[in-house]
Amino acid sequence: MHFYLPIAQMSANVFVLLAMGGAVGFLSGMFGVGGGFLMTPVLIFSGIPPVVAVGSVTAQIVASSVTGAIAQWQRNNVDIKMGTVLLIGGLTGSLGGVQFVNWLRAIGQFDFAVSVSYVTFLGIIGSLMLVESLNTIRKSRSGVVVGSRRSGQHNWVHGLPLKIRFHRSKLYISAIPPLLIGALVGLLTALMGVGGGFIMVPAMIYLLRVPTNVVVGTSLFQIVFVAGLTTILQATHNQTVDIVLAMLLMLGGVIGTQLGVVAGEKLKGEQLRFLLAALVLLVCLRIAWGLIAMPNELYSIGPAYGGGR
C-alpha cells in the first residue's frame, strides 16, 4: 500500500516505512541514540530527497526518544542535571544549525555537505568505538579484569573551571565540556537529521566518564528536546518536514524503542558499544561509496531540492 508524501513529492510503501521506523526505534532504545544516523541515509538511499529526509527524521527521532527516555527514567538511568547542561548547549547549536542548513541550500551544496559530514563523523567515531570495544572484549575473554573508573581517577576535563557536581553520574566536573558536546550535537541534528547519540554516547563514556547505564537514559533525555526544537525550526524556516513521512516513521519507532530497551539490558556495555560501532561503520562505508561511485545516470531532471527556496 502506497501513500503520497506531499513535501517529498513522491509515493512510498507504507509497510516499508513502518519497518524502517521500527528498526531505528529498536536501535534507539538499545543504544541510547536517536537513530537518525541510520534512518536518514536509508531514506536517502530509498529515493527521498536529502533535505526532506533530514527534516522529517528529526520529527521521528522525537517520538522514539520520548518513549526510550520514559523507559530509562523508570529504571532510574537518567541524570537530569547532566542532561540539562547538555540541553542548553544543544539548543544553542540547533539554532545555529538550522540557519547553516538554510545557507547551504541557498548555494546548492546541502546534499554534498550532508554526505561528507556523515562519512567524516561516522568514520572517526565508529573506528574509535570499535577498537575500544574489541580490546575490552578481548581482555574480558582472556580473564583480565577490565578496570572501571575509580573515584580518584582524573583526566584533563577535571582541571577546567565552572565545576558542577552530578550526583546521579557520581561526577564533579566542569560544565564546559557537556555544554560544548551538547552544542555540537545540536548542530549535527540540524545538518544531518540525527539525534547525535553516536557522538554524545561515546563522548560521555570516554571523555566525561559517565557510567554506561546512565549515559543511555541521559542521552535520550537531551535528544528529545533538541530534536523537538530542530523539527519546529526545520518546518517553519526551511519547510522540509514531511508530516506524512514523519508520522509513519514515528508509529514504527514507538514500538521498536520499547523492544530495544529490553534487548539492551541483556547485553554488556562493551557488547553494546561493539554493535553500535559496527553499525556506524557500515553506514559510513555505504555513504562513502555513494560519493566515489559513478552514478547510473550522469544527468537527471527533477526538483532542485538542494537550492534556495
- Residue found by looking up cell 573506528 in the block: 127
DSSP run (H or E) holding 125: helix 110-141
The fraction of the chain above a pLDDT of 70, given in percent, is: 82
- The answer to whether the CB of 196 falls within 8 A of the CB of 39 is no
Per-residue pLDDT at 154:
54
Per-residue pLDDT at 306:
43
For the cut 60, the answer to whether the pLDDT of residue 301 exceeds it is no
Per-residue pLDDT at 298:
53
Span 279-292, pLDDT tens digits: 778 878 877 887 77
Predicted model pTM = 0.64
Q: What is the mean pLDDT of the chain?
A: 77
Contacts of 173 (CB under 8 A, 6+ apart): 157, 158, 160, 163, 164, 166, 208
Give residue 35's pLDDT band: very low, low, confident or very high (50, 70, 90). low
Cα separation, 173 vs 189, whole angstroms: 25
Looking at residues 292-300, what average pLDDT do you find?
Answer: 61
Per-residue pLDDT at 44:
80
Cα separation, 293 vs 135, whole angstroms: 34
Span 200-247, pLDDT tens digits: 777 888 778 888 778 878 888 888 888 888 888 888 887 888 888 888
What separation, in Å, do the N-terminal and C-terminal C-alpha atoms of the chain show? 32
The domains of the chain are located at: 2-142+157-292
The fraction of the chain above a pLDDT of 90, given in percent, is: 0
Measured CA distances, 257 to 79, 90, 198, 279 (Å): 20, 22, 16, 17
Give residue 150's pLDDT band: very low, low, confident or very high (50, 70, 90). very low
Q: Which has more pLDDT, 90 or 263?
A: 90
Which one-letter amino acid corresponds to residue 21? G
Lowest mean per-residue pLDDT among 95-99, 188-192, 238-242: 188-192
Looking at residues 50-59, what average pLDDT do you find?
Answer: 82
